[in-house]
Every structure is written in C-alpha cells, then in structure tokens.
Amino acid sequence: MGIVAKPMLGDCREVLKTLPDDSIDLVVTSPPYADRRKHTYGGVAPDDYVAWFLPISAEIKRVLKPTGTFILNIKERVVNGERHTYVLELILAMRQQGWLWTEEFIWHKKNSYPGKWPNRFRDAWERLLQFNKQRKFNMYQEAVMIPVGDWAQKRLRRLSPTDKVRDVSRVGSGFGKRVANWVGRERVYPTNVLHLATETRNRRHSAVFPEALPEFFIKLFTREGDWVLDPFMGSGTTLKVAYRLRRNSIGIDIMPEYYEMVQRALASMQPYLLEPEGVYDDGQTSRS
C-alpha cells in the first residue's frame, strides 16, 4: 500500500475547501497563537481569535470523518497582566458549532527554560484540546501504552488487604480500583498529561512541536493507511511522523519557504527506516 504525504501551499481557509467531506481520520495542529509570531507569519489579535478560527474549525468539521478526532494545540497568552479568555471562548463557540469537547490533554514541556516574572511562574504547559463530531470515535488505546514504571515495583511488593479487593472511590464517583490487578503487568495506559521536551533542534521554524506529540495522537486515533491532516503544518512534523507510521497525510502552510522545506524533507524520507519511536513517560522518570 503506497503512503501519501502531501504538503499544500496556501491559506488553509481556502485550501481546506478543496478537500472532500468526511475524508480525514485525525486533524492534529498548532495554529499561530494570538499575536505570537507577528513578525514571522502574521498574528491574530486575541480579541479577534475566535472569529478568525471558527470558519477554519467549520471546514475541519466538514472534512473530518464522523469517527475522527481533532486535536488543537493552543495556549492563551497574557494580555494586560491576565490570561486572555480566547481559548475558553473558542471552546464554547466550537461547541455551538456542533463539536463535542471530549477531552483536554496537557503538554508538559519538560525543558522549558527558567525565568522570573513579578506575578507568575514560568509557563511549562500547553493545552491539547480534543474535539469530536460524535461520542463514538475511533481510539486505539493499546497503541500508546507505557512501561508500568518504578512506582509499581515498590507499590506492588507489599499489598495491603484493601489492595486485593476493589476499592471504590470515597467521593462517590463510582470509580474503583483493585491494586492487585497491576501485579505482573508491564505496560499501562498513560494519563492525559504528555511529558515531552520542546523541540530545540529545528532552527528553520520557530514553533516546531516535538515528534512525539503528533505521534501519540496518530497512534491513539488512527491505524495504518488512515488520513491525517495538519492545516498549519509549519516544518511538517505531523506529516513526517504520519509517513513514518504509514498513515497518509495532508499539510497546509501559507509560507512558501515552509512548504518547500517540507517538500524537501519528505522527498528524502523512506518509510520504515526512520528514527526510533518516541517514548511517552509517566512524568516520574527523568528523560528529556
């Protein structure tokens, strides 16, 4: 089966219109944040962000299959000393548009550089909002399991009597656990916090996300041969990872230099022969 990785040049507000309905399994993208990269590829004022994004999310909704997922990497910036509310407003507006806001993952940036601000600490996380068109969507949880970790060795060595029975949550959530179930297990499901270092190697694009980020979602929400879309592809991280994992992909960028850079990068890639797969950690072990 041949795998397609197709970068496209243009404004995604226009280019998305050329893609067929219900054709994409996963959209994973990091749009320009409000005002952030004004000097490189233009910025959108925080107050205009929702109005700017809604036509794009409408097109994403049209091209996404009913079983598909949309992952939006975004973070509200500080304006006049407080966090702007455009992300919160966007979530509400997208729900009005018919999206389900299914989940929020957090990208914990393990290597964010230290700094000092008078009224806040360094920002070490970003949102990864998950939107779906319907409650039942494709999800392959086994594909992103992680090693059980050191805690299990210590915790499971000495089991208490309650560990051997189902311990029902005291807050009445109906959630229960039986710790003894974990004995002998080597891999467990991850949490909704992704502990990943920011990408520092790629100097040709100012806002690259680490390969392990699209990789996690591509594995979680697609299978080989499925279609992945990144309407703000930048340096093409999503396309490169999709190609390596044998998923078809489409990327769009408004900047000719990024489009050409992605074309060159993809031309030099060979499926199967690429970097080792990313490792998702549980935040307890120190890897970077």
Ligand X SMILES: C[S@@+](CC[C@H](N)C(=O)[O-])C[C@H]1O[C@@H](n2cnc3c(N)ncnc32)[C@H](O)[C@@H]1O
Which positions touch ligand X (CB under 6 A)? 11-13, 30-32, 41, 205, 207-209, 232, 234-235, 237, 252-255, 258
Smallest distance from ligand X to CB 41, Å: 4
DSSP string covering 95-114, please?
Answer: HHTT-EEEEEEEEEETTPPP
Nearer to ligand X, 71 or 152 (CB): 71
Token representation of residue 112: 């964010």
Q: Of all residues in this chain, which one has the CB nearest to ligand X in the complex?
A: 234
Question: Please, which residue, 216 or 232, has the CB nearer to ligand X?
Answer: 232
> Comparing C-alpha atoms, which of 156, 145, 159, 131 is closest to residue 66?
131
Task: Work out whether strand 100-109 and strand 125-132 pair parallel, antiparallel, or are unpaired.
Answer: antiparallel
| Residue closer to ligand X, measured from CB, 33 or 152 | 33
Token representation of residue 45? 């004022």
| 232-253 core/surface letters (b: 16 or more CB in 10 A; e: else) | bbbbbbbbbbbbbbebbbbbbb
- First-to-final CA distance of the chain: 35
When the beta carbons of 13 and 155 are compared against ligand X, the nearer one is 13
CB of 208 to ligand X, least distance (A): 4
CB of 177 to ligand X, least distance (A): 36
Q: Do residues 16 and 61 touch, judged by C-beta distance below 8 A?
A: no
* 39 contact partners, CB below 8 Å, separation of at least 6: none
Q: Supply the minimum distance, in Å, between the C-beta of residue 22 and ligand X.
A: 22
* Closer Cβ to ligand X, 126 or 152, answer by number: 126
For residue 27, the minimal CB distance to ligand X (Å) is: 12
Nearest distance from residue 238's CB to ligand X, in Å?
Answer: 6
Residue 28, classed as helix, strand or coil, is strand
Q: 68 or 210, CB closer to ligand X? A: 210
